[in-house]
Structure 1
Amino acid sequence: MPVNTVTAAIHITPVVIKTFFNHYGKKSSRTVQYVTAQEVEYKEHARDELIFDEAFHIVKAFIELSTKNSIESLQAFTNTHIPSPYWVAVAPVLIPFTTCNGAADLLIDWFGPDELARVVGGERWWQVRGLDGLEGEWVTEKAFLGESAEKQKANKQDNDSLIAQMDDLEPVMLYVHGGGYFFGSINTHRYQIIRYAKKLKGRAFAVNYRKAPQYPWPCPLHDVLAAYFYLTDPPPGSPHKPVSPSKIVIAGDSAGGSLCLSALIVLRDMGVPMPAGAVLISPWVDLTHSMPSVMTNTKTDIIPLHGFVYRPSTLWPVAPLADEAHPRVRETQTNPPPQPGHADILNPDPLRLPEQQESKKTATKQGVSISEVQTHRSHAERVARQKEMQAGAHQDESARSSEPMPNRRVRDVDVNAPADGDDGADVEDLDKWEPKPPKVLMEDPGSIPLELLSQIQQYATNEQLTHPLVSPILQGTLCNLPPLYIITGNDEALRDEVIRLAYRAAYPDKYPVRGGVLKESRRQQENVEKFTTPTKVHLQVFDDMPHVPTVFTFIESAKYAYRSIAQFILHVTSHSPEYVARNPFPEPHRPEFLAHTVQKPLRNQDDAVRGEGCCGCFPSRRRRVWPADAGNQTCVDHYTENERIAAREVEEEGTESPSGMVNRAVQIQTEDIPRILMIRERVDIRGRIRPMEPPKDIAALRMKPNEVGIIKETPVRRWHAGQEAVDREFEKSAHSILKRRQKIEERVEKMLRDAREEGLILPDRRKTFRATSAESRMSARTIPSSVRIDQSRRYGPLDLAGEHPPASAIAGRRDTLEALALIKKHIYHTAPATHLTVPKIKVKRTILAAFDPWNRASTKPSQSVSERQVTPGINALHGLSIWGSLVSYFMRKTSSAAVDAVDGAVARIDDLADAVVNSRTDRGGVATRSHDQERLY
């Protein structure tokens, strides 16, 4: 059965009941013990709360349920459109091709022709999409637009006018959802995004990027960059005005957090203005799973034990069958030049080209595949042990030039020269090289390394996992980025890679990247020398929390996370970039009004108290900016107490504390607090912070650079065990899937033959387009307007000659229904600029295809659920909506006590503010405050 609300309810209901009884049967009474007056040891555990215990097991059970079904069903369930509450203003948009093309040009320039050909597989296939643009969504609260509750219920505004109304709302959060790169959508994260917009009293923009395995790397990265450009440089006719990068903060969770980081790196490298800051929530930055917590935290996280292995379908896995002749993992058959753990060979050595050419000729004569010839040849030589390979690789590297491999290849070897006895027509040159699977680093150096024959991640091929834009932990440098606010759960599997990422950004000299990354890329070498300013980082590790702590919005620590994220965004977007560079975080900084005294001196001590600054931001005490949820005194006390702890931590780390600066306001009119490289904290289940332990006590920081980003034996064997179990359970299904793929492929071929008979004409399929190319403009003039050809749509799935997209990419496939629909749409409905004609389908075929949603020609066929939202249909009840209702209910319950105290809290704030204004001054001429008054600042 597919993943849907009914199957989820059937699967999860017993889990809810079981958790309820286990919770009270096993719960132990834990108390809080005060160690000293300054430090507190907390013995509480997050799962002591029934609400969290139930929510944790519900999420975990749902993810486990999804692994027993196909990826397509999970994508459809999590990309089902869910209506928003009436009090939320939601405006969907479709980012046009013109913006997407500009983002593509930037990526093409970043990669360069050599890397595009050898690593990415070309520059066209990842620009192919089924929709006529990229889905996005503006989100804010209607109350911020000045609408009353009655008007909110009755008012149904035009989309464009609603977006125009939001133009004055600042800041803007660009949110990139998570989901392992292959599921999730703006619908799964809508309630979280609404909460951020509420905290910010601003607006959010969410992007529904294309997802793997249909649209693997770099498709999602391409879409995130397009969304950013849509904000900063909207195309003509857009309903919103350009948003200044200084008013944008890019944020994302899990896979979305990694996409945010990769987008920032591309913007930095290409000299494009970056946003004011970034919020990374449990970012998945190491797809090789090389960190210890991947193995140690499996029981306490929501991620499945064996990773994301799914029931076979026409889509995934690429190879649905595995047997002794075609295993998923095996001992290596070759002695490769690179060390184990590197792809064999992502950047192939030119000396191996003659061997490849000889293998092809032999295979042609014998009527067998090239791999069989290479396997027989490899058996004739002894396969070295891991330590022998490592020693040989080191010797080989020492004999080679230090110049990057791509340039050595081009100069030393004529890749177009034919082999002896060959006419050159079928030479396996470097452009057509198919990398072999990567090898696995073994625990026993005396063993023969394993190598992976099946793709283990949906997002990227095995050979691409070590690319710095796939696993950003392997970037040459993370310097010169805007301030980063990074969150991770202490009990999640990705904890160690998140911690190491934060330290790498703040302390690049202490935690460098492994040398192999720099040897493989000239850009990474240049970046290490070019970008040297450490990135300012605020790292918080949340006790007892699994992957993406903010999912559990009703937990006290998660509530604090939302408040803290909101304060960070308000801080970096409300000041100039120069000020943020000096004072990157809101906690250990001078009070808000003192930010303006550098430009305009205070007239007297009363101005220092009232907060009258240079730009009139705070003309009266009633305009002070309090922490998020300022109406709740508990929230104010909570946040300001954490501010004091953060300031003390900064002081203990050797940076001058901002404490006492208010009392020295007049004296420091031209001073800044010292630079802060990093704030590192742990957050308990009540949202109270404390300093992290020293780096020497953190496992992720004790790893050597050459251990990071290496595929290792233990995680591989664990994944293989799970995949083998799926293979055994669904062996019969796998055989039928292969037959189904073959039938679909025959349908596609027949459709292409029919299309040519009906008038389809294609030009040179190798033609490339750029946004401003004269060739593109010429095509726009010469093609009649009556022909349905979209000049801004550059390429279609029939324009990929000479390219090598990943095996799972929909653009290059012919054996899935989604691929069939994609091809038909590009032939008969919205043809790309490369097509010269749009054929007219015959009446007979129109009738036969009328009842097939994947094969329609009279109407646009349904596109892949990996990019298109699904309509819930007659029954609008959906599991995502139910989850949102439960979250809202739990939020009201857990917040009821605090809500009752709002009126008293506001009165107390006003009283203390009045006391500040009327207080006497000390001998230095600056107003004094009591302890309680000071806490409000």
Structure 2
Amino acid sequence: MPVNTLSAAAHITPTVIKTFIEHSNRKRKKFQQGQLEELSTDDILYDEAFHIVKSFILLGTKNTVESLQSFTNTHVPSPYWAAVSPVQIPLVTTNCSADILINWFGTEELQRVVGGERWWQVRGLDGIDAEWITEREYLRPTSVKKDAKITPKISNSDKDILRMEHLETVMLYIHGGGYFWGSINTHRYQIIRYARKIKGRAFAVNYRKAPQYPWPCPLQDVLAAYLYLIDPPADALHKAVSPSKIVLAGDSAGGGLSITVLTILRDMGLPLTAGAILISPWVDLTHSFPSIMTNTQTDIIPPHGFLSRPSTLWPVDPIKDGGRVIPVIPQPKASHTDTTIERPYERNISDKIADEKHTQPHVKSLPVLAGDDTISCARGADKVEDANIANSHMNGQAMDVSAAGKVPDIDDLDFWQPKPSKVLMDNPRDIPLEMCSQMHMYAATEQLLHPLVSPILQGSLGNLCPLYIIAGDGEVLRDEVIYLAHRAAHPTEFPARAGVLRDNPRQMQNAENFQRPTKVHLQVYDGMCHVLTVFTFTKSAKYAYRSVRHVTNNSEEHLERNPFPELHRPSSGLLADEEPDHDERGDAETMAGNAENSLLAEMRSRRSDIKMYKKNESKVKEEAKTGQADKIAGTPGAVEELLGDVETQKDIPNVVMIRERVDIHGKVRPMEPKGEVTALRVRPEEVGIIKEAPLNKWWSGQKEWDQRYRRKAEKVVKQRRSNQTKAKKIMAAARDQGLLLEHEMPPLSQLHRLASDTMSAPSTREIGKIQNDRRWGPLGLDNENVPPSAIANRRDTPEALALLKKTIYNTAPVTHQTVPKMKTSDIIRAMLDPNDDQNQHPQQSVSEQQVRKHIFPSLHGLQMWDSLLRLFMRQRSKKKKGKQRAAAAQITSEQKRSSLP
């Protein structure tokens, strides 16, 4: 059964019941045993919500990718209090973002790594779906005199765009979802909360998703969204937004895209945003940090990662009889005379280790991986060349790349810093393994080391705008998030992996040129899972939402000097004018007629959460004063200045990083010293290596799925062949109807007919047109090395056929000379096909185009999840309100007793 509201409800209901029973039993045992330690799962609301989300994501792995994409990209109506105005970022803007990426990559890297410059620019829609979002009460009242553009001719949605122009602060939000699911619909409720917190407006983008549109397709779309804000096209309703008024935000995959876009803007000399908010950013697709193994039970991510039931779309190889992971058997080496020298595998590896121990006595055990001696099953396998560079790191010494200006020329670098698809074995003497199947939908295995795929491998993360980075202590991505934050704040202390610098000249330059520390505020939340802001009703999430204003209330000059509101003088006052969320409202109405109204009003003005933020703010100041916060090294007078009376200073200066942990009640404390943080003990040469344990974690699940869905996979193979036959018929019919591509001449037999068609009366049906801004289509990709999952070059999925038809008959790229006119028989045949309405453009991939439900759209599961969150918020608010009333009653009682004679 596909992923839909009914199947989700059927799958989740037993989870709700089971969680309630287990929660009650666990709390009873904890009380009986006298355990005092507080856990996040002690809260029944969080415990239920955690397992609901985890159960839904697990349901997604038991269905096809298309099914999950369709469900999460279904249009859902917005709440009545929100002003949501959909727009489409036009092709002219997407072309500008493509040009920036082309310049960033360069000709050689585009062909070698990306596979060309055309295929990733192919899209089905005429732009990118996006939304302007804010609170309806923030809209400026309509004035006929002031609003010349607001006329009866434009829609109410467009009017709202004009009425929110006065809101200067803009959050550009990039949603998460593993790069392959999720949409502006799944995240709209969270984005509305952000808009309220910053008292501004948000701009959300529905970027194309993998595997139909793999890397760098989503990257191009996110970059286009930023360009659309700062340099809007002539027909856009909004004015250009200053980069100093934009905050870039994203969760999970969206956080990874956000940090990647920032590095591109920096590298190309384009203006950066005022700041960025990275929520559990996924920045290491090789899974090379320890928490990927240790935090499986405490996170919502499925234990085997994002698997799926076979479909015509995914996996690329539904049946892999040879194995998705294989042992690598070494090949005998040949001499220059073509005679082979037999050398046993064990002896070969032993010699290599012995040689290293002889030259580097301190090395006790070094990672062993197959090099030139092995059979490679991945395309583009790299030649083993350089280095022993790992030795300096293994001895506790970081290589100073910036000072040297180049990577030292040492032998066998790839031996110690292997590239995917090679696997680092736990036991050096085990026969190495190699991946022969794509693990992630977002990028091919051999692309995982690219810094724009895994931004943790950037040559430098310095010289960026201020970053607010949060992670849950229980999530599988915790360690890579912590490492990312420290790499940004301390570019020289946490250098890049040497192999990445060797293979990417731009990254080598970045390591040399961008050494200025990025201002970073890192918070790790106790007991919380991946993307804790999903659980909006928890105290941890509430504190995180209130912290997002850390770069929105001050001038660009002030932010350059000090981006941390906790260190401002006078105090930042972020929450002085904050209003409660819609789901927390009602307190004032309930309390209005109360006898203790004045006392309760005073309590409302000193809400506990505001007091909590103020208390945490004072703790951060104390950290800076006592030297616990990271400061710019060698700054004259910095320590002495901090040791003075901090309340008299304008700002606490020179702080580059605030490192905090936040408990389940929202109270902060300093993070432990760097030497005690597991993530920071990972050496640079280990980052980006596919290790045996994470591989086996995915592989064991994939083997189970391959066995469970073997018959389905066999049907998928037949379906693909059938679709390929249909594609050939489509092409044959289009050619017969007059399709001509660039540099093609029509056959002599068609010349007269084409001329006659040109002079004939126009058809009653619009047959489409050639779009000047649409550069490429699926028929213009000659000499491109297109990824196997990309829709642009496929002809074996229904979505690929829909894209092919649209670019032939409806919206042709400039590479087409003609738009064929369908025969009457073809139109009649299409009318009998429920998936092909010739009166409309073919519905495009659900990874790009939203699905519109015409029956009961409000009953969609995403709408129900939002309703459930609001219910939890109200329950939390009632509980809090009860405590306030009890406290007020107690104070009143004490006051009465004290007034008695």
Selected match of 1:504 from 465, 476, 487: 487
Q: Which amino acid aligns with 2:475?
A: E
> Residues 648 and 30 of structure 1: is their aligned pair in 2 closer, same or farther, counting only changes over 3 Å?
farther
Aligned to 1:691: 670
Q: Which amino acid aligns with 1:47?
A: T
Give the Cα–Cα distance (whole angstroms) in 1 for the partners of residues 332 and 514 of structure 2: 34
- Asked if residue 577 in structure 1 is aligned to residue 556 in structure 2, the reply is yes
Q: Which amino acid aligns with 1:757?
A: D
Post-superposition offset of 1:130: 0.5
Give the Cα–Cα distance (whole angstroms) in 1 for the partners of residues 526 and 54 of structure 2: 18
Aligned to 2:624: 650
Post-superposition offset of 1:805: 1.2
Aligned to 2:58: 64
- The 3-state SS of whatever aligns with 1:539 is strand
- The 3-state SS of whatever aligns with 2:99 is helix
Residues 871-914 of structure 1: CA deviation (Å, up to 9, x unaligned): 12313211100010010111122123556899999xxxxxxxxx
Post-superposition offset of 1:802: 0.5
Give the Cα–Cα distance (whole angstroms) in 2 for the partners of residues 464 and 628 of structure 1: 46
Aligned to 2:21: 21
Map 1:462-481 → 2, pairs under 5 A? 462-481=445-464
Map 1:211-222 → 2, pairs under 5 A? 211-222=209-220
- Asked if residue 638 in structure 1 is aligned to residue 627 in structure 2, the reply is no
Give the Cα–Cα distance (whole angstroms) in 1 for the partners of residues 154 and 36 of structure 2: 50
Aligned to 1:397: 386
Post-superposition offset of 1:577: 2.2
Map 1:235-246 → 2, pairs under 5 A? 235-246=233-244
- Asked if residue 131 in structure 1 is aligned to residue 120 in structure 2, the reply is no
Post-superposition offset of 1:635: 2.1
- The 3-state SS of whatever aligns with 2:567 is coil
Residues 339-385 of structure 1: CA deviation (Å, up to 9, x unaligned): xxxxxxxxxxxx99x9xxx9xxxxxxxxxxxxxxxxxx999986576
Contact 1:212–1:459, Cα closer than 8 Å, also in 2: yes
Residues 159-186 of structure 1: CA deviation (Å, up to 9, x unaligned): 2221011111121000000000000000
Aligned to 2:811: 830
Map 1:660-699 → 2, pairs under 5 A? 664=648, 672-699=651-678
Residues 213-247 of structure 1: CA deviation (Å, up to 9, x unaligned): 00000000100000000000000011000000000
Give the Cα–Cα distance (whole angstroms) in 1 for the partners of residues 341 and 7 of structure 2: 50
Residues 757-796 of structure 1: CA deviation (Å, up to 9, x unaligned): 100000149xxxxxxxxxxxxxxxxxx9997111011110
Post-superposition offset of 1:626: 4.9
Aligned to 2:706: 727
Map 1:371-770 → 2, pairs under 5 A? 388=352, 396-397=385-386, 438-565=421-548, 567-568=549-550, 572-591=551-570, 626=577, 631=605, 633-653=607-627, 664=648, 672-764=651-743
Give the Cα–Cα distance (whole angstroms) in 2 for the partners of residues 291 and 825 of structure 1: 44
Contact 2:289–2:480, Cα closer than 8 Å, also in 1: yes
- Asked if residue 86 in structure 1 is aligned to residue 60 in structure 2, the reply is no
Q: Which amino acid aligns with 2:43?
A: E
Contact 1:128–1:811, Cα closer than 8 Å, also in 2: yes
- Asked if residue 878 in structure 1 is aligned to residue 860 in structure 2, the reply is yes
Give the Cα–Cα distance (whole angstroms) in 1 for the partners of residues 276 and 221 of structure 2: 17
Selected match of 2:199 from 192, 198, 201: 201
TM-score in terms of structure 1 length: 0.78
Contact 2:332–2:343, Cα closer than 8 Å, also in 1: no
> Residues 288 and 724 of structure 1: is their aligned pair in 2 closer, same or farther, counting only changes over 3 Å?
same
> Residues 87 and 495 of structure 1: is their aligned pair in 2 closer, same or farther, counting only changes over 3 Å?
same
- Asked if residue 868 in structure 1 is aligned to residue 853 in structure 2, the reply is no
Contact 2:197–2:578, Cα closer than 8 Å, also in 1: no
Q: Which amino acid aligns with 2:679?
A: A
Selected match of 2:825 from 844, 853, 876: 844
Give the Cα–Cα distance (whole angstroms) in 1 for the partners of residues 300 and 515 of structure 2: 37
Q: Which amino acid aligns with 1:53?
A: D
Contact 2:272–2:465, Cα closer than 8 Å, also in 1: yes
Higher mean C-alpha deviation, range 877-886 or range 377-386: 377-386
Post-superposition offset of 1:673: 2.8
Post-superposition offset of 1:438: 1.1
Which blocks of at least 5 consecutive residues in structure 2 are unaligned? Answer: 143-152, 353-367, 373-382, 390-403, 408-417, 581-603, 632-638, 745-761, 888-901
Map 1:40-59 → 2, pairs under 5 A? 43-59=37-53
- Asked if residue 890 in structure 1 is aligned to residue 890 in structure 2, the reply is no
Contact 1:329–1:451, Cα closer than 8 Å, also in 2: yes
Contact 2:278–2:467, Cα closer than 8 Å, also in 1: yes
> Residues 20 and 858 of structure 1: is their aligned pair in 2 closer, same or farther, counting only changes over 3 Å?
same
Residues 447-482 of structure 1: CA deviation (Å, up to 9, x unaligned): 221111110001000000110010000001000000
Contact 2:119–2:792, Cα closer than 8 Å, also in 1: yes
Which blocks of at least 5 consecutive residues in structure 1 are unaligned? Answer: 32-40, 149-154, 338-350, 359-376, 406-434, 594-610, 612-622, 766-783, 906-937
Aligned to 1:778: none
Aligned to 1:3: 3
Higher mean C-alpha deviation, range 749-758 or range 854-863: 854-863
Q: Which amino acid aligns with 2:547?
A: S
Contact 1:824–1:855, Cα closer than 8 Å, also in 2: no
Residues 551-605 of structure 1: CA deviation (Å, up to 9, x unaligned): 100111111110111x21xxx2332322112111111221168xxxxxxxxxxxx
Aligned CA RMSD, in angstroms, stands at 3.3
Post-superposition offset of 1:313: 0.3
Q: Which amino acid aligns with 2:795?
A: R
- Asked if residue 330 in structure 1 is aligned to residue 326 in structure 2, the reply is yes
Contact 1:333–1:379, Cα closer than 8 Å, also in 2: no
Aligned to 1:913: none
- Asked if residue 282 in structure 1 is aligned to residue 280 in structure 2, the reply is yes
- Asked if residue 12 in structure 1 is aligned to residue 12 in structure 2, the reply is yes
> Residues 659 and 575 of structure 1: is their aligned pair in 2 closer, same or farther, counting only changes over 3 Å?
farther
> Residues 437 and 847 of structure 1: is their aligned pair in 2 closer, same or farther, counting only changes over 3 Å?
farther
Map 1:156-195 → 2, pairs under 5 A? 158-195=156-193
- The 3-state SS of whatever aligns with 1:307 is coil
Residues 136-157 of structure 1: CA deviation (Å, up to 9, x unaligned): 0000011011569xxxxxx995
Map 1:766-915 → 2, pairs under 5 A? 788-876=769-857, 877-896=859-878
> Residues 660 and 624 of structure 1: is their aligned pair in 2 closer, same or farther, counting only changes over 3 Å?
farther
Aligned to 1:261: 259
TM-score in terms of structure 2 length: 0.81
Give the Cα–Cα distance (whole angstroms) in 2 for the partners of residues 580 and 310 of structure 1: 45
Residues 498-546 of structure 1: CA deviation (Å, up to 9, x unaligned): 0000011111222111110100010000001111101010000000001
Contact 1:386–1:447, Cα closer than 8 Å, also in 2: no
Give the Cα–Cα distance (whole angstroms) in 2 for the partners of residues 107 and 81 of structure 1: 30
Q: Which amino acid aligns with 2:9?
A: A
Aligned to 1:142: 136
Give the Cα–Cα distance (whole angstroms) in 2 for the partners of residues 133 and 887 of structure 1: 32
Contact 1:563–1:628, Cα closer than 8 Å, also in 2: no
Quote the sequence identity (%). Answer: 55
Post-superposition offset of 1:625: 5.3
> Residues 839 and 391 of structure 1: is their aligned pair in 2 closer, same or farther, counting only changes over 3 Å?
closer
- The 3-state SS of whatever aligns with 2:184 is coil
Equivalent residue pairs, number: 770
